[in-house]
Amino acid sequence: EALRRRAAASPAVGRIRLVGSQAREWLPLFYQAADLFLFASETETQGLGLAEAHAWGLHAGAGRASGVEEVVMDGETGILTKPDAQDLADAAIGLLLDPARRVAMGAAGRGVAERQFSADEQVRTMVARYAELIERR
């Protein structure tokens, strides 16, 4: 409710949509419609949402946290900030004002997603880890 009040008071009120949780099959539409992807969580830091955003060609703004830094390369595929709402907002505004940088970071993020986070790559990594553990045994 607090977010709804803030959105209603914003000069951008007509462009703000708080949609809540969405079914997984709808997520691609949201990624495709987005100008940028912000990740503010300090607790869910496995980076799955960040990797998905990269796969859709979106750069990311996120607070530095364990796991986040494994997905977002600061200045290349997105911007990492202190885990502070104002710093993240400032980074978002800077990116919104620089479309060429957003596009370049989005393309770089897509490349990272394809190289490191594809299902095939994840399976290869898991098989290699299991093989390593079996060999040690």
**Neighbour-count burial for 29-54, b at 16+ CB within 10 Å, e otherwise:** eebeeeebbbbebeeebebebbbbbb
Answering whether pTM is above 0.85, one says no
What CA–CA distances, in Å, run from 89 to 22, 82, 119? Answer: 24, 11, 32
CA dist 85 and 126 (Å) reads: 35
Show pLDDT as tens, one digit a residue, over the chain (137 residues).
888 898 899 998 898 888 888 899 999 999 999 988 999 887 776 778 899 999 999 988 999 988 888 899 999 999 999 988 899 999 999 999 999 999 999 999 999 999 998 889 989 999 999 999 999 98
Q: Are 109 and 57 in contact (CB under 8 A)?
A: yes
C-alpha dist (Å) from residue 27 to 73, 133, 135: 23, 36, 40
The alpha carbon of 28 is separated from its chain's Cα centroid by a whole number of angstroms, namely: 13
